[in-house]
Amino acid sequence: MVGARRDEIMARMAMMGADIGKSNAEDYVDVEFFPDRPDLYSSEGVARALQGFLDLKSGLPEYQVSPGEIALRVDPSVEKVRPIIGCAVVRDLEFSDPAIESLMDLQEDLHWGLGRNRRKVAIGVHDISRVVPPFTYFAADPSFEFVPLDFEESLSMEEILKRHPKGVSYASILEGFDRYPLITDANGNVLSFPPIINGELTRVRDDTRDLFIDVTGTDPVVYKALNIVVCALAERGGRIEAVRVERPEGSLVLPDLSPARWKVDVEEARSLIGFDLSAEELASSLERMRFGARALLGRELEVLVPPYRADIMHSWDIFEDAAKGYGYDRLVPVLPKTVTVGEPHPLEVQKSDLREIMVGFGYLETMPFTLTSEKVNFEKMRRLQDDGTVTRVLHPISELHTMVRTSILPSLLEIFAINQHHPLPQRIFALGDVLDGGKTRQDLAAASIHSGADFAEVRSVVDALFRELDLNPEIVPSGDGAFLEGRRADLLVEGSRFGSFGIFNPQVLQSFGLDQPAVGLEVRWDRLWPAGRL
């Protein structure tokens, strides 16, 4: 379709911004484009862009729209439910099966990306020979019946939303409306029930030659989607014919394929890209990207944006295309001259001290997940849930990850549980974030498991830890359910608790499936250096 050699295309496509999939097949390759370029969702669109990038054709593609007689009247009743509609006719198409498939793929990709899963944009494609213009777009009563695509009997719109697979998938878009959008012909036959399903009547077959295209939605991006579809069909040899859309406030002739006209500043482009490109080089780079571009007197470029481009919001979007057209591989990287002095974050400095101390005690560092569950974080630990401090996620993906941890120790016990086949003693620690009332706090947790683990061991570690930190916290008996009564202690600073340690309550060990004694400690160390907090 492009008219160039395969390897050349592959090599250049990457520099155009495509992700090339791995393929060993001779005649087939998977290519992915970024979501900002829905015009590249069809092979026709990709061919058009490649022809420019490979210097086979350049500048703005010209599409003729011939005048037509067909009209569609927009009834004010659609204003609330789905106000915007764009239409066009494309004639003289040759539809082999792969071509129909390609059109369907483009339609689905547009529904998904630009259309936000049909909510914002939905596209219908019809065999126009089956219906009689003029057409009407209005909001009908849900009891209205017709034969939807892939069905043999007629269903009411209400039933379609409940029974038709597409109806079930997209019913939520029409939730809360008492009348549903519908496009009918002069005889009241249904073309489409947007954004749900077309009528069976206008199904596109391999003998279809002339198409009527409707695009409905809630945002003017509808007109872009229409342009993308008709331009792709025109690349396939179709003849575009205008449709008059009669809105209550006045008529539109669609599709509007006139290019948007931008004036951009050459100096601004040069300074953004950081490369000394002349106005002419910028213009020819843009032409390779299928823009129209010419240097104006002074320091400006006039740029014509192809009607199918939905991503040009700002002059920098145009400059990026100029840089791509020139070739990222031809730009020379330059280190900036900005002089600054780097500073580590105090929290990280403290973390690295703590890490050094714990490693010195012979503890292995671990880095468990911060997502956990109430079951692990509280229940198995015999700790009470304090709902005021728990950060739960609204739609957890598994019951293992329903909240962000408020303590690291449970994760260490989980690590012991999966490592029972390795020799003991095992001594591990972790430094990291916990959430306390939605605020990020810093904890250090450590645990040791072996047949001789007892309070004295963890007490020694706690003492040595605070000796190294040059701190002297108060140690008092604790009520922490995770540890065994009489062999557990709290750490206080200025009378308030910032950590605890002890020998784990055997019931806690049992709940994690452990059968050896273990001791542990956890401290909220950012309480010790308030200056280091977030």
Residues 404-443 that bind other proteins (CB under 8 A): 404, 414-415, 418-419, 422-423, 426-428, 432-433, 435, 438-440
Among 3, 165, 188, 360, interactor with other proteins by CB under 8 A? 360
Q: Does 531 bind other proteins (CB under 8 A)?
A: no
And the tokens for 177? 């409306």
- Please give the C-alpha separations between residue 263 and each of 74, 151, 185, 294, in angstroms, as whole numbers: 35, 52, 43, 10
Contacting range for other proteins; rule: CB under 8 A; set: 60-68, 131-139, 226-234, 328-336: 328-336
CB-hemisphere CA count at 13 Å for 363? 28
Q: Which is nearer to other proteins, 135 or 416 (CB)?
A: 416
Looking only at residues 193 through 252 of this chain, which bind other proteins when binding is defined by CB under 8 A?
Answer: 219-221
Smallest separation (angstroms) from other proteins to the CB of 49: 12
515 binds other proteins (CB under 8 A): no
Asked if residue 464 binds other proteins (CB under 8 A), the reply is: no
Tokens of 53: 């990038």
Binding mask 480-509 for other proteins (x = CB under 8 A): ------------------------------
CA atoms within 13 A on the CB side of 409: 30
Q: Which of 333, 486, 495, 530 binds other proteins (CB under 8 A)?
A: 333
CB of 375 to other proteins, least distance (A): 17
SS3 504: strand
Report yes or no: 499 and 483 within 8 Å, Cβ to Cβ: no
Considering the complex, what minimum distance in angstroms separates the CB of residue 394 from other proteins?
Answer: 5
Residue 120 binds other proteins (CB under 8 A):
yes
Two tokens, residue 291: 């823009």
Instruction: Tell me the two tokens of residue 386.
Output: 């304090």
Q: Are 89 and 239 in contact (CB under 8 A)?
A: no
Cβ closer to other proteins: 206 or 365?
A: 365
- Out of 168, 369, 389, 454, the only residue in the binding site for other proteins (CB under 8 A) is 369
- Of 106, 103, 108, the residue nearest 93 (C-alpha): 103
State the burial class of residue 503 (Cβ atoms within 10 Å of its Cβ: 0-12, 13-18, 19+): buried
Nearest approach, Cβ of residue 31 and other proteins (Å): 13
- Range in contact with other proteins (rule: CB under 8 A) among 91-99, 269-277, 296-304, 483-491: 269-277
Between residue 38 and residue 97, which ones bind other proteins under the rule CB under 8 A?
A: none
315 sits near other proteins (criterion: CB under 8 A): yes
The correct pick among 138, 275, 466, 529 for binding other proteins (CB under 8 A) is 275
Which is closer to other proteins, CB of 16 or CB of 160?
16
Question: Which alpha helices (DSSP H) does 254-368 contain, by range?
Answer: 266-273, 279-288, 315-326, 346-360
Nearer to other proteins by C-beta: 237 or 438?
Answer: 438
Three-point CA angle 440, 441, 446, nearest 5°: 135
Q: Which residue has the tokens 């948007």?
A: 260
Strands 243-247 and 250-254: antiparallel
* φ/ψ of residue 393, rounded to 5: -90, 150
Total binding residues for other proteins by CB under 8 A? 89
Among the listed residues 5, 80, 205, 314, the single contact to other proteins using CB under 8 A: 314
* Nearer residue to other proteins within complex by CB, 176 or 423: 423
Of 25, 339, 384, 531, the residue at the interface with other proteins (CB under 8 A) is 339
Angstrom distance (rounded) from CA 178 to CA 157 = 11
Say whether residue 272 binds other proteins (CB under 8 A). Answer: yes
Can residue 319 be called a binding residue for other proteins (CB under 8 A)? yes
My answer on whether omega of the bond before 83 falls inside 30° of 0, hence cis, is: no
Stretch that binds other proteins, among 23-31, 56-64, 365-373, 505-513 (CB under 8 A): 365-373
The type of residue at 460 is: S
Q: Alpha carbon of 371 to those of 394, 419, 442, 526: distances in Å?
A: 13, 20, 15, 20
DSSP summary character for residue 379: I
Identify the residue among 25, 297, 341, 531 touching other proteins (CB under 8 A): 341
